[in-house]
Chain A
Amino acid sequence: MTINAIQDEIIEEFELFDDWEGKYEYIIDLGKKLPKLSDEFKTEDNIIKGCQSIVWLHAYKQDGKIHFEADSEAIIVKGLVSMLVKVMTNHTPEEIANADLYFIDKVGLASHLAQTRSNGLASMVKQMKAYGIAYQAND
């Protein structure tokens, strides 16, 4: 599935919610379901700067595609991170570097992107794309 196809799927899922509670319960649920990041990857280097809660992002390349694993102390951030991972993982460095993440706005979570200082979602996106660019350069 392409990055955009996954985004469209998420947008469709969110259309089911007509209030904030349903939406946040869903995000919290995603956070709870995100597999725990192994302690060996919870390193200082993997911490995304600029978040009120600690967010770790681990990336590796396999068969020409980048894979992401992530974790956070805060459950809502973890849910948001889980969506980002779902969209961005298992794609080529080019696809990741050039991705247009429109789903965040479409599902009404753009304010989370703007509040860079509090939850660092924007920093997370930036870091994922930076991996895309870095792995492209390595090729």
Chain B
Amino acid sequence: MSILDINKIRKDFPILDEKVNGRDLVYFDNAATTQKPTIVLEALSNYYGHYNANIHRGIHFLAEKATSAFEDSRTTIQKFLNAAHKEEIIFTYGTTDGINLVAQTYGRKFLKEGDEIIISTLEHHSNIVPWQMLCEEKGCVLKVIPIDDKGDLLLEEYEKMLSEKTKFVSVVHVSNALGTINDVKFIIDKAHAVGAKVLIDGAQASSHITIDVQELDTDFYAFSAHKLFGPTGMGVLYGKSDVLNAMPPYRGGGEMIKEVTFEKTTYNELPYKFEAGTPNIADVVAVKFAIDYINELGKENIAAYEDELLKYATEQLSEISGLRIVGQAKEKVSVVSFVLDGVHPQDVGVILDQQGVAVRTGHHCTQPLMNRLGLPGTSRASFAVYNTIQEIDKLVAGIHKVKKMVL
């Protein structure tokens, strides 16, 4: 049994009291976005209600208070990732934004025709399309690490792909569709051995796995706040300072400049070089509270409890005849994707929704992965620390009802 008091944790998330179609909400779409604890909601309203001001330039009281809260968040995230320097933490709008930043700055400056970029079959569209756009513009070649039928990357194939032509590797830490945890340390080390830079898409990993960017030795790590109990529209790009310094700025505007004349502009230092315009101050301020909340529960405790949920759900769902779990990787986070014989995933989603159970159905923004698996899509239940065994029982009962009604 978990050392966490789950009933107490549930009280921290007001949305869990909502009724959906007259039933208690069972929220199993956490891989899409997590719900927000009261302390995060209060942080947002406190900011707007008590110290809303534009940051960095103002010399008045509110501006200083807002600036220091904003920069406190950067320090909190630095510690969360164990980054060596605070200025290595760049605020973005989300994981997608961070990946685009790297493709459009590092990629456009340092990659040229014939250079190879490696991604994997497990990627979300967000970690495919920015690289395809870059390849189209620069004439680079996109290579894709294959998977086995269980959803694990074929790392020996990856090793064969690496050569002096490999200039960039961008791989997902945890698969959003299948839950596979990739051995990113191995991927990073092998890429570095041929002189390639590496980005890890941490959108799904950040809430489940302890991340140490120095130990990983990754060049970039991107994630979104809203998947770890924080607000939407706020994300983080970690980059090694020497790599970030070598990159040209991304967007032009206020804050990212040192001096502007009509003849020439000089750019600000890290991290501000990449933070043009008034940032998403309230959401940045609030993410600190989300991370503090995670730290208070303890990431290991969260992971251990989520593993219990995953194990129970896997056992229970496996017993349903005609149900097949898609994605049985050796290491998984608390995500269960499944297909039901003779039932389209959309029908599963609609009927579960009528019973108050929220799952995601479809291709999960991983169409190439679905093609590889030969599926139009799956139904996916993804668990967070506030979910319970009883809720999984409701999912199981809900699926039995789907079968009864459709088949």
Contact = CB atoms under 8 A, between A and B. Distances in A.
A119 interface: yes
A135 to B, nearest CB: 31
B354 A76 contact: no
Interface in B313-355: 343-347, 349-351, 354
A89 interface: no
Contacts of A53: 344, 346, 376
A74 B354 contact: no
B346 A28 contact: no
A75 B406 CA distance: 7
B182 interface: no
A52 B377 contact: yes
Nearest to A112: B350
Given A52-B377, A73-B376, A75-B406, A24 B351 contact: yes
A20 B22 CA distance: 10
A20 B352 CA distance: 12
Contact of B361 (A52, A54, A75): A52
A118 interface: yes
A117 to B, nearest CB: 9
A28 B345 CA distance: 14
Interface string A40-61: 0000000000001110000000
Given A52-B361, A52-B377, A73 B344 contact: yes
Give chain B's interface secondary structure class: helix
A76 B347 CA distance: 6
Interface size class of B (residues with CB under 8 A): 10 to 19
A77 B354 contact: no
B362 interface: yes
B95 to A, nearest CB: 21
Given A24-B351, A24-B405, A52-B377, A74 B344 contact: yes
Contacts of B21: 20
A75 B347 contact: yes
Contact of A52 (B346, B354, B405, B406): B346
Contacts of A94: none
A118 B346 contact: yes
A20 B347 CA distance: 14
Contacts of B405: 21, 24-25, 28
Interface residues of A, number: 15
Interface string A53-71: 1100000000000000000
Contact of A28 (B349, B376, B377, B406): B406
Contacts of B343: 75
B354 A20 contact: yes
A133 B21 CA distance: 38
Contacts of A25: 405
B362 A52 contact: yes
B32 to A, nearest CB: 13
A90 B405 CA distance: 31
A74 B347 contact: yes
Nearest to A119: B346
Interface in B332-388: 343-347, 349-351, 354, 361-362, 376-377
Interface in B1-38: 21
Interface in A1-42: 20-21, 24-25, 28
B342 to A, nearest CB: 9
Contacts of A119: 346, 350
Contact of B354 (A24, A73, A75): A24
Contacts of B349: 118
B289 to A, nearest CB: 32
A72 to B, nearest CB: 8
Interface string A84-128: 000000000000000000000000000000000011000000000
A24 B353 CA distance: 12
A78 B254 CA distance: 53
Interface of B: 21, 343-347, 349-351, 354, 361-362, 376-377, 405-406
10 tightest A-B CB contacts, nearest first: A74-B344, A74-B346, A53-B346, A20-B354, A52-B346, A52-B362, A74-B347, A76-B347, A76-B350, A73-B344
Interface of A: 20-21, 24-25, 28, 52-54, 73-77, 118-119
28 contacts: A20-B21, A20-B354, A21-B354, A21-B405, A24-B354, A24-B405, A25-B405, A28-B406, A52-B346, A52-B361, A52-B377, A53-B376, A73-B344, A73-B376, A74-B344, A74-B346, A74-B347, A75-B347, A75-B406, A76-B346, A76-B350, A76-B351, A77-B346, A118-B346, A118-B349, A118-B362, A119-B346, A119-B350
